[in-house]
Amino acid sequence: MTDYDDNLTGAFFMESKSDVIQRGFLQINGEKKYAIIVESRNDKDEKKYEIFTSCGLIFYQDESEKRSSKSPDVGGRITIDEQKYKFGGWNKVSHSSGKEFTSCSLKPFLDEETKAPF
């Protein structure tokens, strides 16, 4: 039996205990990185603050825009640690809890110059 490889996969869940309190940018090695400061609470209900940088833009599609029923509900090109990826996310509902979440996967993306499919 083959072990399941969960590399380049993930999940996003609805968040109700976080707020974006500021947005702006950081200049790093000559590159402008868009960033946000998020206020949230830890498991002891204490405030905490984190900085997040943008890794790309994603786009939500309604059912009429999707190419097929298996097409992602959200997608886009992102860059993490200087590696480019195609991001795809599918809206789902947990069978056990009934909570909505977005299941996602990443595929390495090669530059348009290489004419490689993404």
For 58-111, write each residue's pLDDT tens digit: 999 988 888 888 899 999 999 999 899 999 999 999 999 999 999 999 999 876
Q: How many independent structural domains does the chain possess?
A: 1
pLDDT at 16: 87
* Structural domain includes residue 2: no
Range of the domain at 76: 9-113
- Average pLDDT rounded to a whole number, residues 1-25: 89
* pTM higher than the cut 0.85: no
Q: What is the dihedral of CA 102, 57, 85, 64, to 10 degrees?
A: 60
113 has a pLDDT exceeding 70: no
What amino acid occupies position 49? Y
Rounded Cα–Cα distance for residues 49 and 12 (Å): 20
* Structural domain includes residue 53: yes
Residue length of the chain: 118
* Structural domain includes residue 1: no
HSE at residue 68, side-chain half, CA atoms within 13 A, is: 2
What is the 3-state composition of the chain as percent helix, strand, coil, each rounded to the nearest 5?
5, 55, 40
- Residues with Cβ within 8 Å of 24's Cβ and at least 6 positions away in sequence, in order, are 34, 35, 36
Place of tokens 């809206």: 91
* Structural domain includes residue 97: yes
* Structural domain includes residue 51: yes
Angle, alpha carbons 70-77-92 (nearest 5°): 35
* Structural domain includes residue 41: yes
Question: Mean pLDDT in the chain?
Answer: 90
* Structural domain includes residue 49: yes
* Structural domain includes residue 83: yes
- Average pLDDT rounded to a whole number, residues 34-63: 94
Rounded Cα–Cα distance for residues 8 and 73 (Å): 17
116 has a pLDDT exceeding 60: no
